[in-house]
Structure formats: C-alpha cells, structure tokens
Amino acid sequence: MDHLEELKEFARLHARGQGMTAEHAARVLTRVTNDTTGDAGSWAAVWTAEGRAAAARGDLLDACRHYALARFPYHGDADRVLAQQLCVDTFDRWRRDQDGIERLEFDHPDGTVACWAAGLDRSRPLLVVMGGIVSVKEQWAPLLPLLRRIGFAAVVTELPGVGENTVTYGPESWRTLSFLLDRLADRAQVGDTSMLALSFSGHLAMLAAAEDPRIRRVLTVGAPVADFFADEDWWPRVPGITADTLRRLTGSADLTELRHRLPGFAFTPERLRQVRIPVRYVASSRDEIIPGSEQALLRRTLDDVRFKTFDDVHGSPAHLGAMRRWLFSQLLWLRFARRGSRQVSRSLVSERPS
C-alpha cells in the first residue's frame, strides 16, 4: 500500500472514531489526489477546506474534526501546521460559549504541555484523558462538560510530541504525567487520579502508575506493553504510518534509529508487577498495530486486569458507543462503586456535545 492509500485507509477509521459518517469521509477522500504541500488537491488542503466550510456554517466541533484529520498523522509540513493551529483556535472559539472549560498551559523542562480542563476543584477526583500518537486533545475535549457533571475534575491533554505537546516522546515520558499531577495539585484531588489513556498513552499511564501512587486506576484501548516495542518478528507488520509517526515523535533520524530506541520503551516483567492498581483494557481482535501477546502478558502479570474485546481493528472505531459504555461503566464502578455508575455511563453515549 502506497503512502496516500495508507493515509486514506487510516483516515476512514479515524473519521468514524470521531463520529463522521463513512459516506462523508468517502466523499472527501475522493477529492484527495496527492500529499504535496501547497497543492489544492492535497491531503491537508482538502480536509482543511472542509473544516473551513463547517466553521463558516457555525459547526465548530465539526470543523475541529476535519482540521484534526487535515493535520493527520502529525503536523510535519506547513499545511498540516496550519491545520493544527486551526483545530486549536476553533476549539477555543467553541469552548468560550460553554460553561467552565478552561485552557491550561505548563512550561515543562523539555517543552510545553497544553490542556483543556473543566470542573477543577480540590474536592474532586482527577480524571486525565490522553489520546494516542495521532490524536489531538481537541478530539476528546468535547466530553469535558459531561465529565464535570458526573463529578470529576477533568483534564484532556496529549501524548508527548503530539499536537501542542512539544516534549519529545521517549522511555521516560511517563514523568510528564507526574509533572502534570504536580501542577494540578492545588486544583484537584490528584491523590485519586484516574487515567483514561488511549493506545500509546495507555502504555505511558501504566508506566507512570508503576512509579506514582497518585494514579489509582488506568483505563485504556489497545495499549502496547512490551512485544510491540521489542519483538523483531512483529515489527514488519506495523503500518508505515505508525512507524513514521513514532519516528517523528521520538526525534529519530530514520526507522533504523527508531528500531534501536524502541526496546527501551518495553515493560520488563519486574516493572509491570509494580502496577498494583486496576487496569481496564479494550482490545481489538483484528488489531493491526498491537500484538495480541500484550494481553497475555497483562493477564499473567497483573492482579486486577479486565478486558473487553471487540471484533475490530486498532482502537475499535466501529464499536465507539459500546466501547465508551464499557470504559465509563468501569471507571465509575471503580471510582464510585455502586452509586449510579450504569445510569451515568449510558448518558455518556446518548449525550453528544452540540
């Protein structure tokens, strides 16, 4: 599969995951003829034009969805940099008409960490939401009003190297989560932190949980653990876009250097045994990125781990509603026990931000 066709294949999945119809995504993709910066028929130009059209008719969240795809898989050229900025600026316009969504920005020793937040209060347990290597915080931030209503101090941020997070992604990036909790210590109950961390950020969250006792539970979707990073037999199956995005985020000069670095990300059995908190994991039976052996390792090693498996590809984009129901029912059950978790989790699926 060539570069453009692989981009289109992944975009169909990510568009579905953002709530776009397959028909709409297909119509947009028919107009994409290349990935050349500055060309009117290029990937970024076509998706950006769709975003501008949505913004012009007043649908700012829909505009954000299109801008997020325009900068996909990372903002590595001028057109994608523009799309990234439009995504942030347009979400900022949307949230100013909402109640209580605020922007946070922290100077990290190695870069900048930006977040959208709601419900910050020292009496509320903290919920940190973080996407994977290709998803920006603006994709998940529309959930913030709902997360506030169900009792959380909620913060949505990005994996190091993604979106506005300018910290380089590396084996020690889990420390960025502890850094974030330190900065939020006077604005939330950080000693009772839940992590809703998708894909590669799930790996980051589990690494942090092994070291930071403030993280009390991790919920994730398709997180790598060890074999993705260290199994030489698995690596040839990894999609080119995934490999190239990791190369970019880690600052590797080429894929050879990336392969040399990745084993340093893998959990050792000893470190994985330090994860002594509940872990809830959504798996996909046809995952083309994460090997199924990761689940087996977690089952063997962790004392409190549960799985929900969907017959789907990485991230289970065709099962978004069911996945969200399961994750939030598990989150609320773990955090609030029997206090209405099922009823609230149903509302997370039925309510959609306008």
Burial of 194: CB neighbours in 10 Å, binned 0-12, 13-18, 19+: buried
pLDDT in tens, 121-167: 999 999 999 999 999 999 999 999 999 999 999 999 999 999 999 99
**Residue 2's pLDDT is what?**
74
What pLDDT was estimated at residue 317? Answer: 85
> pLDDT at position 1, please?
55
Among 93, 126, 155, which residue terminates a domain?
93
Verify that 61 and 205 share a domain, yes or no.
no
CA angle, corner 10, sides to 175 and 247, nearest 5?
40
Place of tokens 């872990």: 279
Q: Are residues 311 and 230 in the same domain?
A: yes
Same domain, 11 and 158: no
Q: Say if residue 57 is in the same domain as residue 125.
A: no
**Of the residues 93, 111, 137, which one is the last residue of a structural domain?**
93
Residue 318: its pLDDT value, please?
85
- Report the number of distinct structural domains present in the chain: 2
For residue 134, give its domain range: 102-350
Show the low-confidence residues of the chain (pLDDT under 50).
Answer: 338-354
pLDDT (tens digit per residue) in 59-87: 999 999 999 999 999 999 999 999 999 99
- Same domain membership, residue 223 and residue 153: yes
Q: How many residues does the chain have?
A: 354
pLDDT in the model for residue 14: 82
Residues 68 and 113 in one domain: no
Q: What is the pLDDT of residue 181?
A: 98
**What does the alpha-carbon distance between residue 80 and residue 222 come to, in Å, rounded to a whole number?**
26
CA angle, corner 328, sides to 347 and 219, nearest 5?
Answer: 160
